[in-house]
């Protein structure tokens, strides 16, 4: 029998002998102390849970339903927020005391979302959502698009390009470039007509033909439609909806097609920035030169820049 085995057997004998002499190693006083400690921990945990429950009301905000505004038409809803009491408790229980920074929040969806509303155009996002989206209508300006895309990429910004069908069919490579950069591509009719003056059949041809062209190039059917020159009527909005598209307009206009100076364009936009803004622009020379500073101005005012889809969802 080797030395290791002998040592182990001796150790085992000592343990067994010790247990036989004192099967309960804990004295009554020690057991009483442990019991009191256990009860105190339970009390502290109960108090902490109660404190989280009581204070959670201070941080909660109810969700806001989407609605039809008299001026702005469709306005998206906004998620509410509430404290997840159980997860907050899990984070605080080690120290056993309330800590605001460890609260866990979850969002609460509104009962009415923008898709539940009657057909109506959309001019802006929720007035409390500090996000802005760039609406770039494209029917010309080929020479400026690569530079605009580079500026957007530099700032890691995703924009929305509403593209005319006729232009898309003649500029497939540019459409693919826009799509590959991850920007949203929308329908801007086929040849930039005044849609209020067309028949329903003519308007349908404008939208369907453009959707077919854009889908063939990108592999995705557009979800958004921007009427040329902002010209629409109820018939146009209903038609777009029947083709599963929302009608998008704008709340801030760069008026870049009038060829203002860069400073004039920037001042115009800066003076009108607001939460949920949709900024209309085109691939013009002034946007090519001023887009970099425009994005910096928006960021400086603590707005995020997202796509139309991000702006119009209920997420906070």
**For 293-310, how does the pLDDT look when each residue is reduced to its tens digit (9 = 90+)?**
999 999 999 999 999 999
197 found inside a domain: yes
Residues 199, 256 share a domain: yes
297 found inside a domain: yes
Domain assignment of residue 95, given as a range? 45-115
Helix axes 172-180, 145-154, angle to 10 degrees: 0
Report the length, in residues, of the chain.
316
> At which of 115, 136, 154 does a domain end?
115
Residues 150, 244 share a domain: yes
**For 97-139, how does the pLDDT look when each residue is reduced to its tens digit (9 = 90+)?**
999 999 999 999 999 999 999 999 999 999 999 999 999 999 9
Residues 98, 217 share a domain: no
pLDDT of amino acid 214: 98
pLDDT of amino acid 44: 74
> At which of 115, 140, 172 does a domain end?
115
Residues 171, 60 share a domain: no
Instruction: Please answer whether residues 137 and 280 qualify as being in contact, where contact means their C-beta atoms are separated by less than 8 angstroms.
Output: yes
Residues 61, 164 share a domain: no
Residues 60, 201 share a domain: no
Strand, coil or helix: 168: helix
Residues 129, 77 share a domain: no
Pairing of strands 80-83, 105-108: antiparallel
Residues 169, 282 share a domain: yes
**For 259-282, how does the pLDDT look when each residue is reduced to its tens digit (9 = 90+)?**
999 999 999 999 999 999 999 999
17 found inside a domain: no
170 found inside a domain: yes
Residues 81, 192 share a domain: no
Residues 108, 131 share a domain: no
111 found inside a domain: yes
In this structure, what CATH number is given to the domain that contains residue 133? Answer: 3.20.20.370
**For 141-164, how does the pLDDT look when each residue is reduced to its tens digit (9 = 90+)?**
999 999 999 999 999 999 999 999
Mean pLDDT, residues 159-171: 98
Total domains present in the chain: 2
Residues 149, 290 share a domain: yes
Residues 229, 265 share a domain: yes
Q: How far apart are the first and last CA of the chain?
A: 73
Tell me the pLDDT of the chain averaged across its residues: 90
138 found inside a domain: yes
Instruction: Please answer whether residues 226 and 248 qualify as being in contact, where contact means their C-beta atoms are separated by less than 8 angstroms.
Output: yes
């Amino acid at each position: 029998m080797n030395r290791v085995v002998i040592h182990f057997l001796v150790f085992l004998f000592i343990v067994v002998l010790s247990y036989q002499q004192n099967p309960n190693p804990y004295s009554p006083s020690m057991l009483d102390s442990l019991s009191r400690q256990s009860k105190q921990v339970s009390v502290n945990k109960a108090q902490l849970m109660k404190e989280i429950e009581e204070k959670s009301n201070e941080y909660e905000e109810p969700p806001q339903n989407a609605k039809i505004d008299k001026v702005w038409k469709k306005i998206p809803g906004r998620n509410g927020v509430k404290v997840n009491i159980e997860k907050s408790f899990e984070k605080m229980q080690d120290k056993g005391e309330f800590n605001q920074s460890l609260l866990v929040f979850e969002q609460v969806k509104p009962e009415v979302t923008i898709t539940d509303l009657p057909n109506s155009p959309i001019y802006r996002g929720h007035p409390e959502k500090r996000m802005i989206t760039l609406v770039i209508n494209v029917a010309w300006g080929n020479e400026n698009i690569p530079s605009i895309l580079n500026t957007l990429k530099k700032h890691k910004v995703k924009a929305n390009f509403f593209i005319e069908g006729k232009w898309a069919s003649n500029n497939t490579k540019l459409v693919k470039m826009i799509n590959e950069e991850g920007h949203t591509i929308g329908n801007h009719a086929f040849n930039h007509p005044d849609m209020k003056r067309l028949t329903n059949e003519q308007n349908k041809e404008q939208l369907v033909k453009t959707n077919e062209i854009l889908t063939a190039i990108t592999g995705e059917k557009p979800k958004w439609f921007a009427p040329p020159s902002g010209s629409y009527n109820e018939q146009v909005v209903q038609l777009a909806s029947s083709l599963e598209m929302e009608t998008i307009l704008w709340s801030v206009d760069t008026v870049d097609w009038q060829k203002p100076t860069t400073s004039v364009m920037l001042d115009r936009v800066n003076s009108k920035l607001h939460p949920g803004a949709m900024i209309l622009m085109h691939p013009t020379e002034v946007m090519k030169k001023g887009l970099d500073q425009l994005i910096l101005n928006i960021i400086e005012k603590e707005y995020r820049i997202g796509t139309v889809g991000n702006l119009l969802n209920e997420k906070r």
